Amino acid sequence: MFRRWITGVLIGTALVGVTSPLFVRSYVPRTNDPVRGVAVLQPGAHYRWRSEGYATTRIGPMGMPGKTSFPAEDRSAIRLTLWGDSQAEGVCVDDHDKIAAQLSRLSSDQIQIYPFARSGDDCNDWIPQIAALAENTETRGRIDAHVFLIVEWSDWCIEIDESPESISTTFSTISATLPAFVIQTVRNIITRGDGTTRRRLRFRPGPVDAVRAGNVSGPVDQSNVRIESQSKLLALQLQRLRQGCDQPCIFVYAPMIPAITDGQVRWNDPDQRLFERFQRHCADHGFHVIDGRPAMKSAAIEGEWPRGFHNGQFGVGHYNASGNRIIAERLLDVRDRITPSDGSLSLDEAKD
């Protein structure tokens, strides 16, 4: 019996190891990029994603997801950087469906994007990288404007943090050594579904949690206070961006609208007032804002939801291929505003 038990464990583990690429994401080592000054996924690697969309992303120079080489020198082409978090990174969709690839096709290669988005990043990560690119002789003349995809205000409504990014070599070593299913198993045991919050044992000695005991006070409606606080943080971050960047900046506002919550479709943006404050701040600094909400709503009305995948729930989660295409289509407008290579931005209000 003991021999059969050991044999079963070995055979079961082998089966999980062989089939795991179908169901488990991969773990790619990170390396420090000397130009951007941050840790990026190892160039040349293939990053397999198995949550929501099942896709494989090729990692290019400087950690660019889905772009394996720099675009050919073309003085007539507009060259943009794309900053954002996992929504802009787009690892849930195949490389040819990412924003950069779709915009290149839609513009007949007249608009090129350097996708620099990383999952979990916020403006405290993007602004120092922009300054680093401006100081680098290889990238200074390659970029005409910077594009920021705004999906969640928490990426901008935060305190300024200028501390350098800490790069842990331990996790990169683990990623390069252990099979992905082993790493995922350990993470599932130690953390909750978000992968960051530590899991707490269901049965353990000690006092009862305050949440379970019902000792948590109810929510207080402080929407005006919240908006004022967020607006101040936004203003400080945008001022910081303007001081450190003399190139045109374009913001694409594409929040999770429309959304499906508790079986109900939510069409209205609960952060409309904050968005209006944001528009005024951007106007003060000469930043251009593109509102992606009308296009997202129109697509959903026509039955083409911009978020959700075939193996999940539509209207929930990250942007799918359709959502990436809608964002790319909205970026076609930059042709009326950006002059290739000289970085000039048209402020003709008639084109707003």
The predicted-structure confidence for 82-130, as pLDDT tens digits, reads as follows 999 999 999 999 999 999 999 999 999 899 999 999 998 999 999 999 9
pLDDT of residue 14 exceeding 50: yes
CA distance 338 to 80: 10
- pLDDT (0 to 100) of residue 74: 66
> pLDDT at position 213, please?
42
pLDDT tier, 214 (very low <50, low <70, confident <90, very high otherwise): very low
Q: How far is CA 69 from the centre of its chain?
A: 20
Partners of 50 in beta bridges: 54
- Identify the pLDDT of residue 208: 56
Name the residue with tokens 């003399």: 246
Give the residue, 76 or 326, on which the prediction is more confident. 326
List Cα–Cα distances, 52 to 98, 152, 191, 249, 310, in angstroms.
15, 19, 19, 31, 8
Q: Is the pLDDT of residue 301 over 80?
A: yes
pLDDT digits (tens, 9 = 90+) for 172-211: 787 877 777 788 888 878 877 656 677 776 656 666 554 4
Query: pTM (2 decimals)?
Result: 0.83
pLDDT band at 275 (very low <50, low <70, confident <90, very high): very high
pLDDT at 284: 92
Place of tokens 């996708």: 115
Q: What confidence tier does 346 reach under pLDDT thresholds 50, 70, 90? A: very low
Name the β-bridge partners of 82. 115, 147
Give the span between the Cα atoms of 287 and 238, in whole angstroms. Answer: 9
Kindly state the helix (H) or strand (E) to which residue 289 belongs, with its residue range.
Answer: strand 288-291
What is the pLDDT averaged over residues 347-351? 37
Q: Is the Cα torsion angle 173, 176, 179, 185 positive or negative in sign?
A: positive
β-strand partners of 198:
191
How would residue 232 be classed by pLDDT, with cut points 50, 70 and 90?
very high
Distance (Å, whole) CA 29 – CA 163: 23
**What are the tens digits of pLDDT across the range 21-69?**
878 888 888 888 888 989 999 999 999 988 888 899 999 999 999 998 8
